[in-house]
Amino acid sequence: MTLKGLDELDRRILHELQRDARHVSSRDIAEQVDASPSTVRKRIQRLESEGIITGYHAAVDYKKAGYQLFMQMECTAEIPVRRGLCTDALDVAGVVGVRELATGENNVLVTAIGTDSTDLARIARELSDLGLRVSDEDLIQRDVRRPFSEFDPEDEP
């Protein structure tokens, strides 16, 4: 299933889940989308089984949790081994996210959390040992997200 295969109800359910999956129930979503709670539950199960919904994640303020450094590292990987290196990078302690990019020389973005510069240097060293070349590091001040506008019936172009 692709975005084009989603109907209006699917998109509205996805919008509600992206808005706040932690505090919304099938009954709450059903009220918002004018469907029964059982229909919403079945749709969510289908979206999960089709791989459209890939998980539910907590948004963490790492600084408040005691981890002062939130870093994005731009890396380069040879294309034939890039996918495997992305998977391996997730095993490095402190790495919380990896994005494999389809274009550009810096084709892997690694998000890491640390308590001090020594911690981040260790992470960069371990990524390098795996075969990723770290070319740039950016300290992230804040990460803000919102639901995809195409899923919001109120946000019409």
Q: Residues 64-107: pLDDT tens digits?
A: 888 889 999 999 999 999 999 999 999 999 999 999 999 889 99
Q: What is the CATH number of the domain that holds 89?
A: 3.30.70.100
Task: State in Å, rounded, how far the first CA of the chain is from the last one.
Answer: 24
Asked whether residue 134 is assigned to any structural domain, the reply reads yes
Percentage of the chain with pLDDT > 90? 66
Q: What is the pLDDT of residue 1?
A: 47
Asked whether residue 149 is assigned to any structural domain, the reply reads no
- What is the pTM (predicted TM-score) of this model? 0.78
φ, ψ for residue 111 (rounded to 5)? Answer: -105, 130
Asked whether residue 146 is assigned to any structural domain, the reply reads no
Please give the biggest Cα pair distance in the chain.
53
Q: What is the pLDDT of residue 156?
A: 58
Q: Which domain holds residue 51?
A: 3-57
Could you tell me the CA-to-CA distances from 82 to 1, 13, 96, 104, 131 in Å, in that order? 26, 34, 18, 13, 9
